[in-house]
Chains A and B, each alone.
Chain A
Amino acid sequence: MTGRRTPYEIYWEILVYCRSPRSFTAVVNRCDLNSRTGQEYIEFLCSKGYLSEVKDSGRTLYLATERSVEYVALFTEMYRNLFDSVPEFKL
């Protein structure tokens, strides 16, 4: 995804993408982040218990935890409401 995203939008993207175990490289590629910021976001989500590390054949993969479900659900509802509460743009 391109454009200027907020950290909360990036958290949501990472958490949704990590519903299946993903490598660090896959996460930064999918979420269009550089390694340094990708590392920061992943560390933050791990520290909050939203992401867990899974070992697979010596590789570290990241997986969204049950705890992230509440955040993802709230975020989804909030962004959906943007189209329900604000009048539509029509031609």
Chain B
Amino acid sequence: MTDATERRFRGELGNFFRVALLNVVFGALAVGLGAWYVTASVLGATGALPTPALRMAAGALALTAFGLGLAWLRSSARVLRGAAAIRREFGEHARPVPDEVLTDGIVGMIAQYREHRRTIRTMIRVCTAGGYCLLALGIVSALESASISLSEGTVTLGSAALLPSALVALGAGLTSLYSSYYFSRFSRVWDRRLAETVRGEERLRDVMGTDRE
């Protein structure tokens, strides 16, 4: 087996691990932000909420982000656990690893992807929806923290305390969208690999002579 294959496999495993880890971190952040916004917006804890309608909108968005964040966190943790196990097993071997160790790692990744394929698809949807939710939350909070005068063309900060959380929500939203983009790309690559293994099974079946009953 070539060094290039090993390098590609290590690289992909590392990248996937990082994206899964990023998801766990931002899933936790979405849950935290959601909980904080529900309290702050609905109960008026921020003290500078201009209209009840805006407060209700922020509260509803926060509750959605909280729920999506929980689902997101749970799915991400499951995927991360599988990737971490392969990474740990693979990392125990010095480079270059023997053929069977590399193949074992590849089989492990394929098996993990096969098992978590539906979860990853759900995560892509949740990440996208959660990302837009957090972006909207950030925009609503930014509007809450500032009053804009169109006639004078000025922006006045009403509640500067809301600005950092608005920026965090915007950042988390963008990261979530970024993460779902990478998961989509990962999914496309591994779907092709999965399809290749299905095609390859026919050759293996031929070598074995017959299918296992």
**Contact at A89–B103, with CB atoms within 8 Å?**
no
Q: How large is the interface on A (under 10, 10 to 19, 20 to 34, 35 or more residues)?
A: 20 to 34
Residue pair A3, B99 in contact (C-beta under 8 Å): no
CA distance A13 to B106 in the complex (A): 12
The contact of B15 among A16, A48, A75, A89, by CB within 8 Å, is A89
Q: Is the CB of B111 within 8 A of A89?
A: no
Which B residues from 1 to 41 make CB contacts under 8 A with A?
1-2, 4-5, 8-9, 11-12, 15-16, 18-19
**Is A9 engaged at the interface, CB distance under 8 Å to the other chain?**
yes
Instruction: Please determine whether B193 and A4 come into contact, CB atoms closer than 8 angstroms.
Output: no
Nearest residue, chain B, Cβ from A19: B100
Within 179-213 of B, Cβ neighbours of A (below 8 Å) are at: 182, 185-186, 189-190, 192-193, 196-197, 200-201, 203-205, 207-209, 212
CB–CB B100/A89 < 8 A: no
List the A side residues contacting B110 at CB < 8 Å.
3, 9, 79, 82
What are the residues of chain A within 8 A of B115 when measuring CB–CB? 2-4
Interface string of A77-91 (1 = CB under 8 A from B): 011111111111111
Interface-central residue, B182, B185, B190, B207, by most chain A CB under 10 Å? B207
Q: How many whole Å from A4's CB to the nearest CB in chain B?
A: 4
- How near does chain A come to B9, taking the closest CB pair, in angstroms? 6
Do residues A13 and B107 form an inter-chain contact, with CB atoms below 8 A? yes
Q: How far, in Å, is B153 (CB) from chain A's closest CB?
A: 41
Q: Return A45 CB to nearest CB of chain B, in Å.
A: 9
CA distance in complex: A90, B181 (Å): 12
Give the shortest distance, in Å, between A84 (CB) and chain B (any CB): 6
Measured in the bound complex, the distance between the Cα atoms of B193 and A89 in whole Å is 11
Residues of B within 8 A of A9 (CB): 107, 110-111
A90 contacts across to B, CB distance below 8 A = 11, 15
Q: Which A residues fall within an 8 A CB radius of B?
A: 1-9, 11-13, 16, 44, 48, 70-71, 74-76, 78-91
Q: In the A-B complex, list the 7 residue pairs whose CB atoms are closest, starting with the nearest.
A: A3-B111, A4-B115, A3-B112, A89-B189, A78-B200, A4-B114, A82-B193
